[in-house]
Amino acid sequence: VIEQGQPEHSVVTTCAYCGVGCSFKAEMKGNTVVRMVPFKDGHANHGHSCVKGRFAFGYATHPDRLTAPMIRNHIDEPWREVSWEEAIQFAAERIKAIQAKYGKDSVGGITSSRCTNEEAYLVQKLVRTAFGNNNTDTCARVCHSPTGYGLKQTLGESAGTQTFDSVMKADCIVVIGANPTDAHPVFGSQLRRRLRQGAKLIVADPRYIDLMKTPHGGEALHLSLRPGTNVALINALAHVIITEGLEDRMFIAMRCDSGEYAAWNAFIREERHSPEATEAITGVPADKVREAARMYAEAGNGAIYYGLGVTEHSQGSTMVMGIANLALATGNIGREGVGVNPLRGQNNVQGSCDMGSFPHELPGYQHVSQDGPRKAFEDAWGVTIDNEPGLRIPNMFDAAIDGSFKGLYVQGEDIAQSDPNTQHVEQALGSLECLIVQDLFLNETAKYAHVLLPGSSFLEKDGTFTNAERRINRVRKVMPPLAGKEDWQITQDLANALGYRMDYNHPEEIMNEIASLTPSFHSVTYQKLDELGSIQWPCNEEHPNGSPIMHEVDFPIGKGKFVLTDYVPTTERTNRRFPLLLTTGRILSQYNVGAQTRRTDNQHWHGQDWLELHPHDAEERGINDGDWVGLTSRAGNTVLQAKISTRMQPGVVYTTFHHPVSGANVITTDNSDWATNCPEYKVTAVQCEKVAQP
Ligand code: SF4
């Protein structure tokens, strides 16, 4: 698939894997990629890359790619290849018939954080115009929706505060629930460089991660907490800072809401939040918590980086706010080397959220109930928009099972494999009268589909991705779309077939519309992106070339807000039947459910998912390295091979989720974050036992 030889030309574009957003030169021979060369002028990667971006692009021309639209009347029938026109017409007629029978709210659309900003914008526009409701969501629902909620409440903007390069000024780096050297490798290397220069490191994670191994002069602390106890730990850290007088009083007085601070100060001083009182909950020794709190508060510049180990909990949003409390209390906001930094999993998590892919928010995080912004969109789009939020993804599943939700358009997400409690998801998908799947491959979700629309890979389209540091990077087409259409064209065709006119000629026109309606994008243009190389939003009249550091002078909500973050234990408890806690994560060579990386040579580097368990738990069960083990939870069961490892603490087991055969989400429950419904992937009570090789 990947032809070797001398390239004839090259095109600078952006990696479509993780939220680092590395720039690459795609070196081309005709329409074939010869190699992907990390771009030295890339603002997120400065010429660095990892094994995914550099080598795992062959999926774009893999024989499994869908190349023609297909339809079928019923999911038991074989697929029938048809023309684009027939497939779009078939999909539109079904949607219309469903809405005529069950009402306009009986259908919805889901976009993906793999898609470009322009594609995500069009999907929510299609739902709000042609479908006529707010039933639009994104797969960010299942990863960083608590970040959007938590940071908006506390700092006033649903985004990380820093550039990646800012870490080179950090004196103490706190990594919570993230494994950057595997999941965000280029930024992981940058972290390592800073640690080698002597920055201190605190890692809060149930599992020992490789970043801890970095040889560096400074101190390193591992807070190996019990899964599900993040909030108790963050409160304990804050308790030490406040009771030992380590807070930044000047920052708090100048930049924070005084009434809310006073209430929080009284709350966090309570003895129940002390490291000694919370030790039995978190499992982290009190003296380690005290040491960590002092390290962060006294460092000069303290920077917090966090991942899905923070958000994918029943208290995900609470924990995000707890992290923001900590940064506000110590004045670690608004300059280089500090900040609150979510490490976004997918390439365009930030962007898909920015683009209004939520049932309650229009592009730019403007709530549908706000009359002014809603009217601006109504005037621009020529429709009336509901002022009530629509359905979130889990609500769509529940409504499908109840029989009130009948039609779904899914762009670029394999929800049957990615979302928790697979049995529940499959029941919901099987209840739909029209499921339209737009994807590169015949994925697990497609088994329940009536219409298959072949999507285009990042190499086949123009547009933009926005990385974890709010950096808008250009995606440039290096080859024509395999099936003849870019994803935005498919969405546009569907809108037109449904009777809502869209007539864009190029994604640039979509971006111009986004900029005109989204205050934080007002001054973004493709021309400026080409001239500057990339832009970090907000980019508007006030910041015409973008904003590397946020909240330097004030917050979008005026003052920083402290929130009372009470620890509430998850309902997912261990007992005699399920005595272990399962948590999950990623590995360097693979990506998410593996739809792309498994179709490249990276597959050979990690051919299966493993179950890591502590020697103590293995011995108790008579399990040896390499044995097959049955893993059972309240939701389901699966079989994995055992890897005995002291990375785990006793009582906690761990697996990756890159291979459908092991199906980690068969095990996960449908518990979710109280504020956003982000699934609690990171805590599942399980039992495991040795079984025969399947
Ligand atoms: Fe792609 Fe992320 Fe690797 Fe960069 S670090 S090459 S964005 S997968």
- What are the residues whose beta carbons fall under 8 Å from the beta carbon of 459, sequence distance 6 or more? 13, 26, 33, 57, 60, 477, 478, 479
In the reported structure, the alpha carbon of residue 186 is separated from the centroid of ligand 1 by a whole-number distance in angstroms of 6
Residues 326 and 206 in one domain: yes
Residues 183 and 254 in one domain: yes
Element (H, E) at 471: strand 471-475
Predicted local distance difference test score (pLDDT) of residue 607:
64
Q: Residue 244: pLDDT above 80?
A: yes
Residues 131 and 116 both lie in one domain: yes
Q: Give yes or no for residue 185 CB within 6 A of ligand 1.
A: yes
Kindly state whether residues 149 and 194 are assigned to the same domain: yes
Mean pLDDT, the chain, as a whole number?
93
* Total tally of structural domains belonging to the chain: 4
Residue 607 lies in a domain: yes
Asked if residue 530 belongs to a domain, the reply is no
* Pocket mutation for ligand 1, best pick of 45, 164, 458 (most atoms within 8 Å of C-beta): 45
Q: What is the pLDDT of residues 268-286, one digit of tens each?
A: 999 999 999 999 999 999 9
Same domain, 251 and 392: no
In a domain, 532, yes or no: no
Label residue 469 left, alpha or beta by phi (over 0 means left) and psi (-120 to 50 means alpha): alpha
Q: Of the candidates 21, 40, 61, which is a domain's last residue?
A: 61
DSSP code at position 137: E
Query: CA angle, 377 as apex, 372 and 381 as ends, to 5°?
Result: 150
- Residue 283 domain-assigned? yes
Residue-wise pLDDT tens digits, 194-242: 999 999 999 999 999 999 987 666 679 999 999 999 999 999 999 999 9
Supply the CATH number for residue 273's domain: 3.40.228.10
Residues 81 and 20 in one domain: no
478 lines ligand 1 (CB under 6 A): no
pTM for this entry: 0.93
Pairing of strands 302-306, 172-176: parallel
For residue 38, the ligand 1 atom closest to its alpha carbon is 6
| C-beta separation of 524 from 539 below 8 A | yes
Confidence of residue 415 (pLDDT cuts 50, 70, 90): confident
Residue 47: per-residue pLDDT: 96
**Do 584 and 685 fall within a single domain?**
yes
| Length reported for the chain | 694
Enclosing H/E stretch for 430: helix 422-430
Instruction: Give residue 346 CA to ligand 1 midpoint distance, Å.
Output: 10
Q: Establish whether residue 186 lines the binding site of ligand 1, counting it when its CB lies within 6 angstroms of any ligand atom.
A: yes
Read out DSSP for 182-246? HHSHHHHHHHHHHHHTT-EEEEE-SB--GGGG---SS-EEEE-PPTT-HHHHHHHHHHHHHHTT-
- Evaluate whether residue 460 is within a structural domain: yes
From CA 593, how far away is CA 441, in angstroms rounded? 13
As to burial, measured by CB atoms within 10 angstroms (0-12 exposed, 13-18 middle, 19+ buried), residue 153 is middle
Ligand 1 centroid from CA 322, angstroms? 29
Q: At which of 308, 342, 376 does a domain end?
A: 342
Residue 17 Cα to ligand 1 midpoint, Å, equals: 6
The answer to whether residue 418 sits within a structural domain is: yes
Q: Of 83, 84, 104, 82, give the one whose Cα is nearest residue 95.
A: 104
Judge whether 80 lies within some domain.
yes
| ipTM of predicted assembly, 2 dp | 0.99
Which residue, 342, 360, 391, sits at the end of a domain? Answer: 342
Q: Quick check: 507 and 472 in contact, CB under 8 A? A: no
Count the alpha carbons within 13 Å of 123 in the hemisphere toward its beta carbon.
Answer: 34
In this structure, are residues 623 and 629 in contact, taking their beta carbons and an 8 Å threshold? yes
Q: Identify whether the C-beta of residue 218 lies closer than 8 Å to the C-beta of residue 235.
A: no
Report the C-alpha gap between 580 and 667 in whole angstroms.
Answer: 13
- The continuous run of DSSP H or E covering 174 comes out as strand 172-176
Please say if the pLDDT value at position 690 is more than 90.
Answer: yes
Walk across the sheet containing 172-176 and list its strands: 220-223, 200-204, 172-176, 302-306, 339-342
User: Does one domain contain both 51 and 189?
Assistant: no
Question: Which of 688, 680, 679 lies closest to 610 in space, CA to CA?
Answer: 688
Instruction: Write the residue with the smallest CA distance to atom 2 of ligand 1.
Output: 18
The CB of 50 under 6 Å from ligand 1? The reply is yes
- Is 305 in contact with 591 (CB distance < 8 Å)? no
Residue 604, pLDDT score: 65
pLDDT at position 258 is 96
Q: Does one domain contain both 439 and 462?
A: yes
C-alpha R_g of the chain: 24
The answer, yes or no, to whether residue 46 has pLDDT greater than 80, is yes
180 ligand 1 Cβ < 6 A: no
- Percentage of residues in the chain having pLDDT higher than 70: 95
Indicate if 187 and 296 belong to the same structural domain: yes
The Cα 302–Cα 336 span in angstroms is: 10
In a domain, 4, yes or no: no
CATH number at residue 641: 2.40.40.20
- Confidence (pLDDT) at 216: 65
pLDDT category of residue 1 using cuts at 50, 70 and 90: very low
Task: Let me know whether 332 and 451 are in one domain.
Answer: no
- Find the domain containing 672 and state its range: 580-691
Model confidence at 668: pLDDT above 90: no
Nearest to 328 by CA among 562, 167, 78: 562
Q: What is the mean pLDDT of residues 477-489?
A: 95
**CATH number of the structural domain spanning residue 434:** 3.40.50.740
Provide mean pLDDT across the span 326-341: 97
Task: Read off the pLDDT of residues 566-610 as tens digits, 9 standing for 90 and up.
Answer: 999 999 999 999 999 999 877 666 666 667 767 777 666 666 788
Which CATH number goes with the domain that contains 24?
Answer: 2.20.25.90
- Determine contact, residues 659/598, Cβ cutoff 8 Å: yes
Whole-angstrom Cα distance, residue 152 to residue 692?
A: 50
Per-residue pLDDT at 587? 66
Residue 49 Cβ < 6 Å to ligand 1: yes
Same domain membership, residue 109 and residue 22:
no
Which of 52, 473, 597 for a ligand 1 pocket mutation test, highest count of atoms within 8 Å of Cβ? 52
Using a 6 Å cutoff on CB, does residue 242 contact ligand 1? no
